[in-house]
Structure 1
């Protein structure tokens, strides 16, 4: 598991084994079962998570009780309620396991410590942040400029594994369509 994290980080910034040992000491390895909540709406958000194995969904529940899936996170992805994490406020979203999941978590204190003490890690976190912002903007633009069929095809092209691992009800919520509409789109 350590090798997965090391490989993930060294894709963007090189590290010696000694440096990696130091940065690894700032992370905590955790295991969760399917349907476990890693973050619950209204609770403190103490960590950001790197997914080693498994699948997560980040969910926002609106005032009417409708569930909106903000994102899915699978292997090699980072996830959290980032607003609450960086501002140390209560979660507005929940992070739940769709599958049994293993993660490395990092507290904000350790995130800041690593960023300060290892400029390489600050660069790494910045690059990951940039990628996340770009993905979020692309998702917003997709909702603004694409119809349901186009969004479905974009998701199928960009993340085909989701269609094998995520129940159709959740995919429909992510795409902003009904389950029935998703069935029509996929036929």
Structure 2
């Protein structure tokens, strides 16, 4: 739980008493590799703070093609937020890519905590703002950058996972084929693909 406190205090300080209160709202869960926290059609009752591990959020289109919306690493918050905030069925999947530990938070717990502690309302507002701007940046990147630029940005954004996860997932995240990713990795071809 100290990691959660450190994470919160990156945005706002909390006293020992406040943190004692905050941690009561969270449920700790160990997650196995390949275990789903959310599957399409599930009612989404939790958002998850990643204490450790790697996750991916994705959906599968009508043609059976997987589209990765985001990766989640330590200190990330993940859920199908449309389904979470509206308490409806999920349209995407959230799966663990390596052994992990998460803290689970229900919407009612989040709302209660935020209404009783203005620091936590501020914390969640900042997190949502940061996540929104990151998603907007990702969309603009997909629309305006070439594959080489997207790959280099991914490498600088996620240097710790680029060698940990299968290349097919990196390609799906970047919106390119596995073959294109292989060409981007080939040292003698890097300049010609820029």
**TM-score (structure 1 length as normaliser):** 0.98
**CA deviation profile, 1:79-109 (whole Å, cap 9, x unmatched):** 1000000010100000000001100110000
The aligned counterpart of 2:70 is 71
2 CA distance for matches of 1:166 and 1:135?
A: 21
Rg larger in structure: 2
The 5 A counterparts of 1:42-81 are: 42-81=41-80
The 5 A counterparts of 1:112-151 are: 112-151=111-150
**1:24 aligned onto 2:23:** yes
**CA deviation profile, 1:55-92 (whole Å, cap 9, x unmatched):** 00001111111100000001011110000000101000
1:89 match: secondary structure: coil
1 CA distance for matches of 2:164 and 2:7?
A: 22
2:94 match: secondary structure: strand
**TM-score (structure 2 length as normaliser):** 0.94
Deviation (angstroms), 1:162: 2.2
The aligned counterpart of 2:189 is none
Structure 2 gaps of 5+ residues are 187-194
Deviation (angstroms), 1:143: 0.7
1:164 match: secondary structure: coil
1 CA distance for matches of 2:130 and 2:88?
A: 24
What number of residue pairs does the alignment pair up? 186
Q: After TM superposition, which residue ranges in structure 1, 4 or more long, deviate above 2 angstroms?
A: none
1 CA distance for matches of 2:151 and 2:11?
A: 30
Structure 1 gaps of 5+ residues are none
